[in-house]
Amino acid sequence: MRRIMVGVKRVVDYNVRIRVKPDNTGVITDGVKMSINPFDEIALEEALRIKEKGMADEVLAVSIGPADAQQQLRTALAMGADRAIHVQTDAAVGPITVARIFHKLTQSEQPFLVLLGKQAIDDDNGQTGPMLSALWDRPQAVACSKVVLADGKATVTREVDAGLETLEIDLPAVLSVDLRLNEPRYVKLPDIMKAKKKPLDAKSLADFGVTDGAAFKTVKVEPPPVRQKGIMVKDVAELVAALQKKGLV
C-alpha cells in the first residue's frame, strides 16, 4: 500500500495570546484553545492532495502527547486522513524522542513519504525531520514550498537566502513543509461525524522502546519586554535629534 505518514502536534492555537505562568515555568494552557500545529496542518493538506491525485492509497496521522491530543487527531481524520495513531504521554518529549518513535513507525507502516511541519510554533525546534531522516537513512528536504512527485522521486522547491532552490530526492523520503505550500481545507460537519468512525489506535512510549525523558529542560520562560511607546516627529532633523538623545546614532 502506498502510504503517507504525517506528524500532527497539539499546540496552543496561533490566534491565542500567550500568557506566561506566574512562576515562569512555562505558558498557561488551562482553558486555552488548542489546535493542530499550523505547519503540520499544511503537511496534512499536502498529503491529502497527493492522495486525491491518485498517488497514494492511505494517509496516516500520528501524534505524540497527552490524552487530549486525540482531539487534534480527530480533526486530522475529519480533514481526510484515513486513520490515526496516538502515542500517549504526559511528559514533554524532545525532537529526538519523536524522531525515534516515527522511525519505529516507518519500519512497521512502510510509508513512501513522511510529511512534517518545518517547525512547531510552541518550541520552534525544527529538528524532528532531519533527525528522522538520519535514523531512517533516507533523503530529506526542509522548508518545502512546492512538492511534485513522479517516477519514484520528489522534486521540491524551497526558499533560500539567494532565492529559490530546487531539489530532486529519491523516495521514500522525509519532507518538512513551509507555510507557502498550500492553504488547508476547512473541516465540514459531515466530515467530523464520519471521523468518529475512523480508526484511532492508542499506544504508549513503551510500545516503541523509548523513555519519556526529554533531551533538554526548560529552565525559565519569560514574556517579551514591553515595547516603549512611540513618538511622532515632524521631520528628519527631529528624528535624528531623538535618536541622538537615545544614543542610537
166 and 153 Cβ atoms separated by less than 8 Å: no
Q: 189 lies in which domain range? A: 3-245
pTM (two decimals) = 0.85
Nearest to 38, CA basis, from 158, 181, 155: 181
Cell 516507518 belongs to: 106
* pLDDT tens readout for residues 34-80: 899 999 999 999 999 999 999 999 999 999 999 999 999 999 999 99
- CATH number of the domain to which 168 belongs: 3.40.50.620
Amino acid (one-letter) located at 31: G
Per-residue pLDDT of the chain (249 residues; tens, 9 = 90+): 899 999 999 998 888 888 888 888 888 888 888 899 999 999 999 999 999 999 999 999 999 999 999 999 999 999 999 999 999 998 888 888 999 999 999 999 999 999 999 999 888 888 999 999 999 999 999 999 999 999 999 999 998 888 899 999 999 999 999 999 999 999 989 989 989 899 999 998 888 888 766 667 778 888 888 887 888 888 999 999 888 988 887
**Burial class of 162 by CB neighbour count within 10 A (0 to 12, 13 to 18, 19+):** exposed
Total count of domains within the chain: 1
Q: How far apart are the first and last CA of the chain?
A: 64
- Rounded-to-integer distance, Cα 72 and Cα 15, Å: 16
Bridge partners of residue 157, in order along the sequence: 146, 166
CA distances in angstroms from 48 to 12, 53, 158, 198, listed in the order given? 24, 9, 20, 16
Task: Give the helix ranges, DSSP H, for the chain.
Answer: 38-52, 70-79, 95-109, 128-136, 189-195, 236-245
